Amino acid sequence: MVAIVWLRRSMREYDNTAIVRASKNHDKIVPFYVVDDEYFASHDLGYPRVRFWRDSLADLKEKLQEKGKDLVIRKGKPLKELKKVVDEVDADEVYHNRDYEPYARERDEKVSQELDISVKTFKDVVLHEKREILTNKGEPYKVYSYYRDKWFKKEKRKPQEPENYEVPKLESDNVPSLEELGFKWEGDWPWRGGRKSGKKKLEKFVENQIFNYEDKRDFPAESSTSKLSPHLKFGTISIREAYWAAEEARKKTGDESGIDTWEEELAWRDFYFQVLWNWPEEAEKAFLEKYRGIDWHWDDKHKELWKKFKKGRTGFPFVDAAIRQMNETGWMHNRPRMVVASFAAKDLHVDWRKLHKVMSERLVDAEIASMLGGIQWAYSVGTDAQPYFRVFNPWTQGEKHDPDGKYIREWIPELDKVPEQYIHRPYKMPEDVQEESGCRIGEDYPEPVVAHKEEKEKAVELFEKAS
């Protein structure tokens, strides 16, 4: 008999739990991918995420073909296409790895209910899922620190190689082109999807950068983060590979602070996945019910501010550099992500869902669970969120985490010749310094679009009124 392994986000053969488990029970397997019409029609997708997905899908098909196998691709609705392939090969079981987003859960439940054969599902995209880590009262965690303590103590399995299997010959659609999908990009494209790129990034990180991660991770001008997030998002490497590579690095040095801190990022990722699973309404509503009625602003003034924000033209250099980094590369360093989200919330008072939409469209690693968690945290409306009266100061955040302005100069070329003493607050430059630096405030680079201190006070009022 034949098993179908329905692939979605785990775009690799090695340590793909569904493939590993299917190969133990079947000598014939159909690795199967559906280019889901419904998903493309209903989600906020942009070129970065679609390009990385498309490249990784093509890479997986190529890698399987090199081994004398194949990836069967069909375009349409998942249930309908699965039924067709089940009939074509007389399959007796469908295997797939679990997903935790509301759309995926509804889709997968429908498949399980309406397919006439056994559907088996597996944990793969996280180390710990759903309700595996609970409070002493048997409830899922809302506070990360307590979750983290149990997460580190819980056993984590190692990566696994699938057993040998054959792939029956079947008709397959081609990997769709970006033009067919309706996406295009202007400028250079800095990302390479696929397994080879993911493995290379992981190896480079654990051999060198992970040991300095604790000290350098908050400085966006430094190349100190792994940039593995899109590879984990699309599963070109497994979360287990990432974790155990860090553990191997631990054996090579007595300095474990960087390793512990980076592994905490994996814990945060699991935490946000279990939050979304246990409270799926978080995808549409603020996690904290008392703040669901906040009167976020959306008049003509704020619509205009939002346009400037999305272009990186707010007059706050650290914020603008982050937005431009995202617009030009499809990625944003984590420290600026927090500052940008706080600015959108506490300085512009714009609904968190609007920022979520922008990031969904523009980030290559738009992992919905983590993005929801991070944005709602900075907005003070999410689980374990920072208190509403704690507001990131966009000036001092830049001064602290980009002290010499290297990050700002990289992404805001009009500020390149601005003296260091003014790089974080260029609006304070005297006329002669503006002339000398070739940057006229209000012309080449904008005045600050809001007064931070005043907007901070208004934000506090918004939260206190809501609660």
Please give the backbone phi and psi of residue 276, each rounded to the nearest 5 degrees, phi first. -65, -35
Same domain, 438 and 425: yes
Same domain, 256 and 300: no
Between CA 203 and CA 193 the distance in angstroms is 16
Note whether 225 and 242 are within 8 A (CB).
no
Same domain, 410 and 370: yes
Angle, helices 195-207/47-66, rounded to nearest 10 degrees: 100
Same domain, 403 and 363: yes
Residue 255's pLDDT band (cuts 50, 70, 90): low
Q: Residue 258 is encoded by which pair of tokens?
A: 């960087």
**DSSP secondary structure string for all residues of 11-22:** --STT-HHHHHH
Mean pLDDT computed over 79-87: 97
Please give the backbone phi and psi of residue 133, each rounded to the nearest 5 degrees, phi first. -120, 115
Does 437 fall in a domain? yes
Mean pLDDT computed over 323-331: 97
- Which CATH number covers residue 394? 1.10.579.10
3-state DSSP assignment of residue 303: helix
Is the Cα dihedral 405, 406, 410, 413 positive or negative? positive
Same domain, 312 and 434: yes
Between CA 172 and CA 178 the distance in angstroms is 18
Look at residue 42 and tell me whether its pLDDT is greater than 90. no
What pLDDT, in 10s, does the model give residues 43-65? 889 999 999 999 999 999 999 99
DSSP 191: -
What pLDDT, in 10s, does the model give residues 116-152? 999 999 999 999 999 999 999 999 999 999 999 999 9
| Token pair 């998942």: residue | 78
Between CA 322 and CA 336 the distance in angstroms is 6
Same domain, 135 and 78: no
DSSP 457: H
Structural domain that includes position 93: 2-125
Same domain, 389 and 272: no
Q: What is the pLDDT of residue 385?
A: 85
Q: How far is CA 146 from CA 135, 153, 154, 303, in A?
A: 8, 12, 13, 40
